[in-house]
Structure 1
Amino acid sequence: MHNAQPWRFRFRRKDGAFEVYADLDRAMPHSDPTTRALHLGCAAAVFNLRVAAAHAGWEPVTRLLPDPADPSLIAEVRLAGPTAADDDLAALYPAIRRRRTSRHPFTDEEIPQAVKDTLSGAAVLEGAQLVFPGAWHVRTLLHLVHDAEGRDDRDSAAAEELSRWTRVGAPAAGESGDGVPEDAFGPRQRFGQAPVRDFAGRHPVPGRETAVFEETPQLAVLGTQDDRPRDWLAAGQALERVLLQATLDGLATSLTSHALEWPELRWTVRDPESAMGFVQMVLRLGYGPSGPGTPRRPVDEVLDIEGD
């Protein structure tokens, strides 16, 4: 959430393994009191590590939650090897740097069914489901997002938490390696129904344009059968695999967790006719600008090397 980058890595030279930890100092206790979204973000980082390892020729042997006494230890990724030349993880590597969150309008061009099937298959590979809802369910999702936006507007704690991760002005953006800078806000939505969080809120941003967004956005729902930390980690890896595959397929993407941040709304996000037990993320996909890059924390802030 909000480009908080809530992860830390430790590399053990003695056995060639990475430990991936949740950085709870970057948690969002109001919007994410159970740390569900934090687990999704850390798991996405784990997946990128697996992809990078495969690209470098290593087989990433991964254990989730390997130490019951330390729940902040999200995963251990040991570099075995070598990996196969046609490894499906390595094929995703070029998309890591290209993947962006786009808060810009998408065209009305429909995503081909074959592409949707590929993305759904990507989620299954990581133990999750990706479903493209029908028209009535899309309308329900949009109503729920609108409801969540209204609740946020009246919630000072939510506004304060969002403000913590918003970088307005060139100095603020340039000095920070995290958060959402104003050039990533995208235009203000004049017309349309796209579920895009407006990080500017009610504060004017000089020079920011307005635009017409999609009236009928193309959405997908990512979910799992259960709703425990291990399921969150499966969902986060599935989410990143889907996003990387979508990038390779030429799609622009953005995420919306608005309705999922309110427990009384989250349970209504799922399709009651679906076998999906718990929705973990709602994705918006389509054809359009990929969006600008956002800052990253320096490597020495997120990586420790043991035994160097």
Structure 2
Amino acid sequence: MSRHVPSEERVTDLVYDAAAAPSMHNAQPWRFRYFQGSSTFHVCADLERAIPHSDPDDRALHLGCGGALLNLRVAVVHEGWYPVTRLLPDPADPALLATVQLTGLGGGESDLGVLYPAIHQRHSSRFPFEETEIPQAVRKALSDAARREGVELTWPASWHLREVLELLAEAEARNLTDRGADQDLAEWTRLDAPSVNMAADGVPGYAFGPRKRGGKAPMRDFAGPRQAAGRGAAEFERTPQLALLSTTHDRPEDWLRAGQAMERVLLLATIEGLSSSFATQALEWTDLRWPLRDPLSGTGCTQVVLRLGYGPKGPSTPRRPVPDVLDIQP
């Protein structure tokens, strides 16, 4: 590992790692600029990849970019630098979401490097998970990881879990009959992409997972009313294990922090042998999102719902070529 000024090849590698983050419908709504003179990355929103119907406030866009930002920080530490990170540094440019300057190692970021092996191992798994309970020690470690990013991770249980599952089921039912949601899926799903090399973005048919024949796992049906050739059906877990990521406020800065916490949790979960997928349908409906908050305090803004457990690893999904998302400046 070298602390010298990174070469263009190394900068490209760092962005390749950053862009492995998840995003809503795999839209990959990010762009990166690297300024060689100051050794600084600009992480920017690619607003042409917004999903205005399902994400009218660009909240999910910020979450995805926050995940890419966390990956960038992990990769920078892995390479031997320290990432000095600022969120929303220019109020006059809301598309500039963060800056990351590479300096010598320091601060409290050195622990991020251990997450690096998981960046390209983490893939959403839309397959049935086992009923095996996640150990309390692992749950605590995941909650601590979120807290390192200023975000709370909680595990709904008992009546709260039932309520969350009901809200997610209601949202999925709405989405299946909502014309705008169906148009979003039509734009960002790739029924005719049999391999990762057939598309640069979106969710390919091979990553949809089977249709849910039974069980209570909250699964999004990416096929909607369309037929995906060769897709079967399966029984999913009866007691899904969900984790809620919540922030105190509900502003773009909070969304970026939640996106970083989301990816930090997912990387650690991958290292711990867990598979994961998202269950965020209720967050797309204002009246359903609010009841997801902490039932005891009645406060907090739920930003992400994760489904975690032991099960098959998900397949890799397409990524845009790095030259399409990176601009290197002197």
> Shorter-chain TM-score: what band?
over 0.9
TM-score (norm 2): 0.90
Q: How many Å separate the matches in 2 of 1:275 and 1:7?
A: 33
The structure 2 residue matched to 1:16, chosen from 34, 39, 42, is 39
- Contact 1:8 1:21 (C-alpha < 8 Å) held by counterparts: yes
Task: For 1:1-308, list aligned pairs within 5 A.
Answer: 1-82=24-105, 87-170=110-193, 174-274=197-297, 276-307=299-330
Q: Which amino acid aligns with 1:206?
A: A
Q: Which amino acid aligns with 1:109?
A: T
Distance 1:46 1:102, change over 3 A: same
Q: Root-mean-square deviation (CA), in Å?
A: 1.6
SS of 1:122 mapped into structure 2: helix
Which stretch shifts more, 85-94 or 97-106? 85-94
TM-score (norm 1): 0.96
> Structure 1, unaligned stretches of length 5 or more?
none
Which stretch shifts more, 286-295 or 174-183? 174-183
Q: How many Å separate the matches in 1 of 2:240 and 2:297?
A: 20
SS of 1:254 mapped into structure 2: strand
Q: Which amino acid aligns with 2:326?
A: L
Length, aligned pairs only = 307
Q: Which amino acid aligns with 2:233?
A: T
CA deviations 1:66-117 (Å, max 9, x no partner) are 0110000000000011358992110100000000100000000000000000
Tell me the CA shift for residue 173 of structure 1. 6.3
Q: How many Å separate the matches in 1 of 2:320 and 2:276?
A: 22
Q: Which amino acid aligns with 2:26?
A: N
Percent identity of equivalent pairs: 59
> Structure 2, unaligned stretches of length 5 or more?
1-23
Aligned to 2:14: none
- Contact 2:242 2:308 (C-alpha < 8 Å) held by counterparts: yes
Tell me the CA shift for residue 150 of structure 1. 1.7
Q: How many Å separate the matches in 2 of 1:40 and 1:127?
A: 14
Q: Which amino acid aligns with 1:228?
A: R
SS of 1:305 mapped into structure 2: strand
Q: How many Å separate the matches in 2 of 1:21 and 1:228?
A: 17
CA deviations 1:106-151 (Å, max 9, x no partner) are 0000000000000000000000000011121111111111111121
Q: How many Å separate the matches in 2 of 1:10 and 1:239?
A: 23
Q: Which amino acid aligns with 1:87?
A: S
- Contact 2:194 2:204 (C-alpha < 8 Å) held by counterparts: no
Q: Which amino acid aligns with 1:25?
A: E
Distance 1:287 1:276, change over 3 A: farther
